[in-house]
């Protein structure tokens, strides 16, 4: 019987089928044994996640966010372009011929979501759980202005905003906000540099206000000591676009007639304060004797002249419609007009995305409007020449 650890013959062939794409890599290598610069293409079903991965499944909220990120962001990108950054794997300790993920589990899950069967990888046997935690912890993402400069370069190369959004896998509204980031006027740029305002939507709203009220926005930003919140900018917009109007004076019949007539009391001019002396009770003003009663169509003065046999008492309330029951009969329900829309929703299309017109926000200029995308809820300011009207429906 051959020794258990006897070396294989020099001309023996090693079965690499269990290593997925590793056999193909060996076949493609040059005669000198030099690598060809391509990662291993491993079968997805021989790669398994690490149970001790720092990105665990203990919290339902973490799992929900992970699945949502794969479904909306990473998965569609992998489906279109594949995995461009190979994952790191090591030999599986319990499954011969299989591998365990060092880092790249999100990409591995996205491959399954996209329905693909292989994933690019490289083998690193010197990988610990601390390396895994650091891989997820020590990351520096691109700043907004770095992304804005990237978008600007692509636009200068000839790509339009829709193409940039599709290739980045983000919404066109985000690309629009990023492209505007490099156009910030000095007061808003100053707030951005100071760290007071980094939210792209808030910056976009500030820029819209600045076009119409540059001095007010500049002064307002100078007064802000803390972070500029979107709710504060919304309140500023309301103050600037809908300033407080002086309250209307209470309606008085005297103002309609031009002066007080016989038997008419004006508490606001008499200084009586609307109460009877010494009683503290509210005194009802007398009605104008020339006022036409809505119930009988007769003026109080006509009643005094013989139609009613004396002065009409002050009217404090309208009598009930039904004298027997003392209750007003129920009003007949209004029949809706089938030809009228009570609450209109204007459906539009912008950048090949469904949206709706925001009708209660004042646009910055003629020919512009605010819309809200149906897919992500973003509100953006758009040129109406770029908007396609789709439908007018009832909300």
Q: Which two tokens stand for residue 267?
A: 């508490």
C-beta neighbour count of 26 within 10 angstroms: 12
Architecture of the domain whose range is 344-394: Roll (2.30)
Q: Which two tokens stand for residue 70?
A: 């794969």
What is d(CA 344, CA 94) in angstroms, rounded to the nearest whole number? 63
CATH topology of domain 142-183: Arc Repressor Mutant, subunit A (1.10.10)
Residue ranges per structural domain of the chain: 17-137, 142-183, 188-241, 344-394
Q: Residue holding tokens 């007639």?
A: 257
| Helical residues (DSSP H) of 266-317, grouped into ranges | 267-270, 300-302
What are the angstrom distances between the C-alpha of 7 and each of 12, 14, 19, 91, 96? 10, 12, 21, 22, 20
What is d(CA 176, CA 355) in angstroms, rounded to the nearest whole number? 15
Q: Residue holding tokens 């209109």?
A: 344
Asked if the domains at 17-137 and 142-183 fall in one CATH topology, the answer is no
Q: What are 10-44's pLDDT values in tens digits?
A: 444 445 454 444 444 444 433 344 556 789 999 99
Q: What's the pLDDT at 288?
A: 60
Q: What's the pLDDT at 321?
A: 55
Give this prediction's pTM.
0.47
Cα 300 to the center of its chain, rounded Å: 61
Q: Which two tokens stand for residue 235?
A: 């309140």
Q: What's the pLDDT at 97?
A: 94
Q: Residue 291, class by beta-carbon neighbours within 10 Å (0-12 exposed, 13-18 middle, 19+ buried)?
A: middle
Instruction: To the nearest 10°, report the CA torsion of 22, 24, 26, 28.
Output: -140
Contact between 102 and 55 under an 8 Å Cβ cutoff? The reply is no
Q: What's the pLDDT at 110?
A: 94
Task: For the chain, give percent helix, strand, coil, nearest 5.
Answer: 35, 15, 50
What is d(CA 311, CA 296) in angstroms, rounded to the nearest whole number? 16
CATH topology of domain 17-137: 3.90.1530
Helix (H, G, I), strand (E, B) or coil at 60: helix
C-beta neighbour count of 54 within 10 angstroms: 14
Contact between 377 and 200 under an 8 Å Cβ cutoff? The reply is no
Q: What's the pLDDT at 118?
A: 95
Q: What's the pLDDT at 4?
A: 42
What stretches in the chain show pLDDT beneath 70?
1-36, 244-334, 336, 395
Helix (H, G, I), strand (E, B) or coil at 371: strand
Q: What are 332-387's pLDDT values in tens digits?
A: 666 767 777 777 888 898 877 888 999 888 877 777 888 888 877 778 888 888 88
Q: Residue holding tokens 């959004």?
A: 165
Q: Which two tokens stand for residue 68?
A: 């949502």
């Amino acid at each position: 019987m051959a020794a258990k650890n006897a070396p294989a013959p020099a001309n023996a062939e090693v079965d690499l089928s269990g290593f997925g794409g590793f056999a193909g890599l060996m076949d493609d290598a040059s005669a000198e044994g030099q690598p060809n610069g391509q990662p291993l293409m491993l079968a997805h079903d021989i790669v398994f996640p690490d149970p001790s991965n720092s990105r665990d499944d203990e919290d339902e909220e973490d799992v929900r966010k992970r699945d949502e990120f794969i479904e909306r962001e990473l998965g569609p990108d992998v489906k279109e372009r594949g995995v461009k950054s190979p994952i790191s794997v090591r030999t599986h300790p319990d499954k011969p011929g299989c591998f365990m993920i060092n880092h790249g589990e999100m990409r591995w899950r996205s491959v399954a979501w996209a329905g693909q069967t292989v994933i690019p990888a490289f083998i690193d046997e010197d990988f610990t759980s601390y390396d895994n935690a650091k891989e997820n912890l020590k990351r520096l993402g691109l700043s907004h202005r770095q992304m804005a400069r990237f978008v600007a370069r692509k636009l200068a190369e000839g790509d339009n905003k829709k193409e940039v959004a599709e290739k980045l896998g983000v919404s066109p509204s985000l690309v629009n906000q990023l492209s505007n980031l490099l156009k910030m006027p000095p007061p808003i740029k100053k707030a951005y540099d100071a760290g007071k305002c980094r939210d792209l939507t808030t910056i976009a709203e500030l820029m819209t206000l600045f076009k119409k009220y540059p001095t007010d926005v500049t002064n307002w930003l100078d007064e802000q000591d803390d972070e500029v919140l979107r709710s504060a900018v919304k309140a500023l917009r309301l103050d600037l676009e809908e300033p407080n109007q002086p309250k209307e004076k209470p309606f008085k019949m005297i103002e309609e007639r031009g002066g007080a007539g016989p038997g008419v009391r004006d508490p606001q001019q008499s200084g009586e304060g609307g109460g009877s002396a010494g009683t503290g009770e509210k005194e009802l003003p007398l009605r104008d004797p020339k006022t036409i009663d809505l119930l009988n169509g007769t003026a109080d003065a006509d009643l005094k002249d013989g139609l009613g046999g004396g002065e009409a008492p002050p009217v404090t309330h309208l009598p009930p419609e039904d004298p027997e029951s003392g209750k007003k009969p129920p009003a007949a329900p209004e029949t809706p007009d089938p030809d009228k829309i009570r609450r209109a929703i204007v459906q539009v299309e912008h950048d090949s995305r469904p949206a709706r017109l925001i009708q209660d926000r004042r646009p910055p200029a003629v020919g512009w409007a605010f819309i809200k995308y149906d897919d992500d809820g973003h509100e953006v300011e758009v040129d109406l020449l770029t908007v396609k009207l789709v439908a007018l429906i009832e909300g």
